[in-house]
Amino acid sequence: MIPPVLIFFLSFLCHAAIAGRTCPKPEELPFAVVVPLKSSYAPGEEIVYTCQPGYVSRGGIRRFICPLTGLWPINTLKCLPRVCPFAGILENGAVRYTTFEYPNTISFTCNRGFSLKGANSAKCTEEGKWSPDLPVCTPITCPPPPTPKFAKLSVYKPLAGNNSLYGGKAVFECLPQHAMFGNGTITCTEHGNWTELPECKEVKCPFPSRPENGFVNYPAKQVLYYQDKATYGCHDTYTLDGPEEVECNKFGNWSAQPSCKASCKLSVKRATVIYEGERVNIQDKFKNGMLHGQKISFFCKNKEKKCSYTEDAQCIDGTIEIPKCFKEHSALAFWKTDASDVKPC
Ligand SMILES: *[C@@H]1O[C@H](CO)[C@@H](O)[C@H](O)[C@H]1NC(C)=O
Ligand SMILES: *[C@@H]1O[C@H](CO)[C@@H](O)[C@H](O)[C@H]1NC(C)=O
Ligand SMILES: *[C@@H]1O[C@H](CO)[C@@H](O)[C@H](O)[C@H]1NC(C)=O
Ligand SMILES: *[C@@H]1O[C@H](CO)[C@@H](O)[C@H](O)[C@H]1NC(C)=O
């Protein structure tokens, strides 16, 4: 007699052997799709793995049939990204990349003096091609520069046919009587244009006026122009205050306006003074007086400390102030010690 439980069990076993077990939802593989995708499959049902666009299969099997055991076989299929052609070098430029695989993007820059023709980045497509096409770096050039009015091109060396390369320079000069405003040297920029052109303008200066107690010479012309020169001089005993030669500057002014300054007569007859760092006798060195601008140092006594110090005096247009502390000694007062012979304080 067979127990009913066993019968039940056997019949179940029998059924399972004939019908088989159902397979579960298949294992998910990276970058792969399963067709058809269901939560369970009857034994004998077929599934196919395909790689997603941009990925290619490597190894393993793509097609499976649900076995009677209800267990999908172990799948060793791999879906690997497509690899685009090597694009790691850009002549006269640089490429930034991590890998050349789908779906990565690489980017491009050109070296200084070169400009990018094309897109500054490209993507590796599903088909394993770069899109858009890879760019190139071409040298930056500037066309020959225009010459400003009243100017002439004095230096220009095109290195790219008639054109200049990036960083190339051209130098302009103004025609005579014209002054330059702006920079006379222009440079070919990274935009393929030149830096700002200078301007040349005609510049006139008024006739320089004659200084009092002196004279001025300038070219005998109707009009004085930029860079014309005038020279100044002074009559006897007068000294020129300013440069001997002045020039008409670009602002229509003279570079300086010199004048003639009077010499100084000295009330002091005898003294040892310092002039240009040396001890001199005032009566020898300045017997004809001092010229405008000359400076001397007088010796004075500090009575309490019994020492000497100096004070400066300068001839300014006919006037010199002798320091109050200075005491002049008569040539006869030989027993008195001059301040210049006393030790310095
Ligand atoms: C340079 O310019 C000259 C005169 O304009 C022209 O005849 C010549 O074809 C140019 N050369 C080049 C390389 O462009
Ligand atoms: C003029 O420009 C050049 C570069 O193009 C520069 O080196 C120079 O210092 C400039 N000169 C002046 C006076 O600005
Ligand atoms: C040169 O070209 C750049 C870009 O187009 C522009 O910004 C610049 O003003 C131009 N320079 C001159 C001097 O024209
Ligand atoms: C030119 O000279 C005049 C008179 O001496 C003066 O007023 C003016 O400021 C000067 N201008 C320049 C740019 O030096």
The answer to whether position 14 is within a domain reads no
Q: Is residue 225 part of a domain?
A: yes
Average pLDDT, the chain: 92
Confidence of residue 14 (pLDDT cuts 50, 70, 90): very low
98 pocket-lining for ligand 1 (C-beta < 6 Å): no
Instruction: Note the pLDDT tens digit of each residue in 72-124.
Output: 998 889 999 999 999 999 999 999 999 999 999 999 999 999 999 999 999 99
Q: Is residue 267 part of a domain?
A: no
- Final residue of a structural domain among 81, 106, 125: 81
> Which ligand 1 atom sits closest to the C-alpha of 163?
14
Residue 5 falls within a domain, yes or no? no
Domain identity same for 333 and 277: yes
Cα–Cα separations (whole angstroms), residue 90 to 83, 114, 124, 138: 18, 12, 16, 11
283 phi, psi to nearest 5 deg: -70, -25
170 with 212, same domain: the answer is no
pLDDT in tens, 50-63: 999 999 998 878 89
**CB–CB of 37/50 below 8 Å?**
no
What is the best residue among 251, 254, 257, 259 to mutate for testing ligand 4's pocket, by most ligand atoms within 8 Å of CB?
Answer: 251
CATH number at residue 237: 2.10.70.10
Q: Which atom of ligand 1 is nearest to the CA of 161?
A: 13
Domain with 97 in it: 93-139
Does some domain include residue 226? yes
18 falls in which pLDDT band (50, 70, 90)?
A: low
Query: Do 152 and 135 fall into the same domain?
Result: no
**What is the Cα–Cα distance from 66 to 73, expressed in whole angstroms?**
9
Cβ pair 142, 189 in contact under 8 A: yes
In a domain, 75, yes or no: yes
Which of 262, 296, 331 is the last residue before a domain boundary?
262
| 134 and 148 both lie in a single domain | no
What is the total count of domains within the chain?
Answer: 5
Query: Considering the entire predicted model, what is its pTM?
Result: 0.68
Ligand 3 midpoint to CA 196 (Å): 9
